[in-house]
Each structure stands twice: as C-alpha cells, then as structure tokens.
Amino acid sequence: MSRPENAYVPPAWTRPLAWFTNPHGVNDDRRLREAVQGKIVMVTGASFGIGEATAKRLASMGAKVLLVARTQEKLDVVAADIRQAGGEAAVYAVDLSKPHDAAALAERVLKEQGHVDILLNNAGRSIRRSIHESYDRFHDFERTMAINYLGPVQLVLGFIPSMRARRQGQIINISTWGVKIPPGANWAAYQASKAAFDVWLRSVATEIKPDGIDVTSIYPAVVYTRMSAPTKALHSMPGMSVEEAAHVIERAIIERPDDISPPWLWGMQVASVTLSKPVRWLMQKTYKPAFTKK
C-alpha cells in the first residue's frame, strides 16, 4: 500500500518508543475474517489515511465496506482498488459536517443496504492554532464542532434504531488521547470538539449496550497522516502508520472492548487528578506563547 498523501516518515529512533506511546492492535486474518465476513461496515473519512487503510483491510477479509467522505473522485479510486482486489465496496460522497446530510445518508444507506453492522466514525478535522490567532476565527470552532461532533451525532442517531431492532451492532470511534488528560495549548478547537463527541458516545453506550450494541472508543496518540502532517512538532514523535492504526481498529472489531488506549494513558490520567497542580504547572511552562505581552 502506498504512503498516504502528505504523510511523513518519522525518525528511526522513534520506532522503539511507539509500542508504549500508542494503542496496540492485532493482525489476525482468521479472526478478522470470522468477525466481518458478510458484514456491512461503514467507514467515514474513507478517502485517505486511516479510513482508506481500514476499508481496504476489512474488504480483503470479506466485509462489504461503505465508503464515506466528501470527495467522490477519491472515493471512486479507493472503491476501484478494493474491487480490483476482489472486495465489495459502495461509495457515498457526503459532507458529514452538515447534520442534515448525515441524517439523509443514514436514511439512504438503510434503504439501499438494509442495515449497517459496524459504524466506524473516523472522519474529522484537526486545527492547531493559538487562541491569540483565533480572535477573528470563530469559524474554526464552528467547523470543528460540525465535523467532529454534530455530524457524527446525527449519523449515530440515524443507525441506532436499526441496530436496536436487530439487537446487534457496533460503533467504533477514533477519538484522541488528548480528551483523557488536561487540555493542552493551541488545540482548543480540536480538543473541545473531540471531547464533546467522546463524552456523548460513552454516555450513549451505557444505554444501548443492553440492546446488543457495542461501543468502542480508540485513543491514538500520533498517527502519520496528512491530517497530522502540517504540525511539524509531531514529526519527531513516536507514532503509528495508517496500516498500524487499521490493526487497532481490527482489534476493536475482534475483541469489542469499551476502550483501547496507549499503555501510558491510564497513569497519566491518574497523575492529572492526583498531581493536578504540578501537571498544569508543567504544561504552562512547556507552552511557548505566541507573543509576549508588554
């Protein structure tokens, strides 16, 4: 598989650390095939990166993948690759930042496909910008909330009734480790929008579990994609390739856990509560202001 557009290659020394800093996946053809063969899996954000890699992996194991993203042309390329390899794919070009379109997508898919067994919420937008550069950019907060929170909420609402009626289904969300620790500087728009959907979905999970619907939240650290590429500070951090991230999603489908996090994250969560003042002091000290007030 070719490297995703605008991705980057991290320094070799970061690879030994990646095992500790990122969630662990599995690579098991037999178990994955048993879990997805004949199933219908919707993958949002399927035109690039994690979504593309995951869709191709699941299709190769017998799933029918529904590819969702904004760009028809790119989705058609991904679908063609899947079909050429013997898999089955359907394309749905939709802008999920528009909740009305997300609702219409769910209605259309249920009419055309009958049901969805697994919904992978992967589409998203990342913005790294200081608050001092955001005074006149309220649209940054609107658009991150639209694609990272409001659209996914509407899409999940569209599929829950069908899953409840069938008493089976799984919703997988690609969250971020940042929602589990004290928020860092420069990521206000992104972290707030991701945290909103993360909390919403985990709340919903407690209600739909008795109906046979599993929810798995995945908390990656750094994934080498075109979304993370513009943030040069991430280039030297230990992370995962999109193929490795797809194996984490593979684990979610096979094992169906509530949570998949990096090994260090639990300890950091504990420290952020028990040592809240030192942690906040450290975060403030490591932040380099955009300007110094005179």
Catalytic residues, which ones? 190
CA distance linking residue 153 with residue 170, whole number of Å? 15
CA distance linking residue 5 with residue 49, whole number of Å? 8
CA distance linking residue 178 with residue 192, whole number of Å? 10
Residue 117 near residue 39 (C-beta atoms within 8 A): yes
Angle CA 150–98–243, to nearest 5:
75
Q: Closest by alpha carbon to 140, among 197, 182, 97?
A: 97
CA distance linking residue 294 with residue 76, whole number of Å? 54
